[in-house]
Amino acid sequence: MSHPFFLRLAYVGTSFYGWQIQTSLRSVQGELWKALRALDPEAPMPQGTGRTDAGVHAKAQGVLLLAQRPWEPYRLMAALNAHLPLDVRVMAAEPAPEGFFPRQHAVAKRYIYRLFEGPAADPFLKDRAWHVHGKAPLDREAMSQAALHLVGEHDFSSFRAAECSAKTSMRILHKVEMRDDGPLLDLVFEGNRFLMHQVRIMTGTLVDVGRGRRPAEALRDILAARDRRAAGISAPPGGLYLDAVWYQRRWGIGDASPWPEPPSD
């Protein structure tokens, strides 16, 4: 008999080749499974909510773990952390209901992309933010106007990596907002699902607008083009954070989504 648990995992993605387990490269899923097998050798591989790319960070990766014996949640969290490397931590653990699967039952996610402006990069933000070099600050107003074109349900083909395997490029972007803190600028994206590199490509394109290289109205035409070549560069992975995931209310996992969720199957 297995005992399902939901974990909230945080990790610094700098030295990982992404979440998903790799044959020979270091992955977050691989490190977590190694720690779990030290405690529970027969436990199957833990399953995450999303496949963060190499170099991308997470504050709230949701993970389903099937332990082969009962655990008190705090003790499970402490035991796993004792076997995990310091760039991965289990931040919370709780019993999960039978039938819950994080990837299938997620209804919305929040990603944050962190920018740092100024004439010199901050060494303390190396691989934690994208240094946007320039004498003049980014035009926040133009970026806000451009972002309005992205909100809603659209075909995001222009903001999709060539190797993306998603069956459809239709996605709903609920919100884009900017949070200013001096030279730090966080771009906050909340949506139902995201395509491979979507947030990084949207960020690169919005930075083009902020630098005056594109008008705000260009975002409407880029969406309509449905062509990756129409959009800007992919922002570096080190500035991207998976910040929150919301699940269907019926499972009682975490906070309820602030956005409408589709009917349950």
Residue 3 is encoded by which pair of tokens? 């005992």
Tell the residue number behind the tokens 């902020």, with chain if given.
210
Residue 70 is encoded by which pair of tokens? 């009962």
Alpha-carbon distance of 262 to 169, in angstroms, equals 18
Beta strands in the chain (DSSP E): 3-11, 47-48, 57-67, 88-95, 106-118, 130-133, 152-155, 170-181, 184-191, 240-247
Alpha-carbon distance of 217 to 207, in angstroms, equals 14
**Which of 40, 53, 208, 243 is flagged as catalytic?**
53
* Cα separations in angstroms, 173 against 44, 152, 177, 190, 247: 34, 5, 11, 6, 16
Residue 163 is encoded by which pair of tokens? 């190797």
Find, among 201, 108, 202, 228, the residue nearest to 146 by Cα. 202
Beta strands in 18-167 (DSSP E): 47-48, 57-67, 88-95, 106-118, 130-133, 152-155
The DSSP letter of residue 100 is: -
Q: Is 122 an annotated catalytic residue? A: no
Find, among 197, 206, 207, 191, the residue nearest to 228 by Cα. 197
The DSSP letter of residue 239 is: G
Alpha-carbon distance of 164 to 153, in angstroms, equals 19
Catalytic residue list = 53
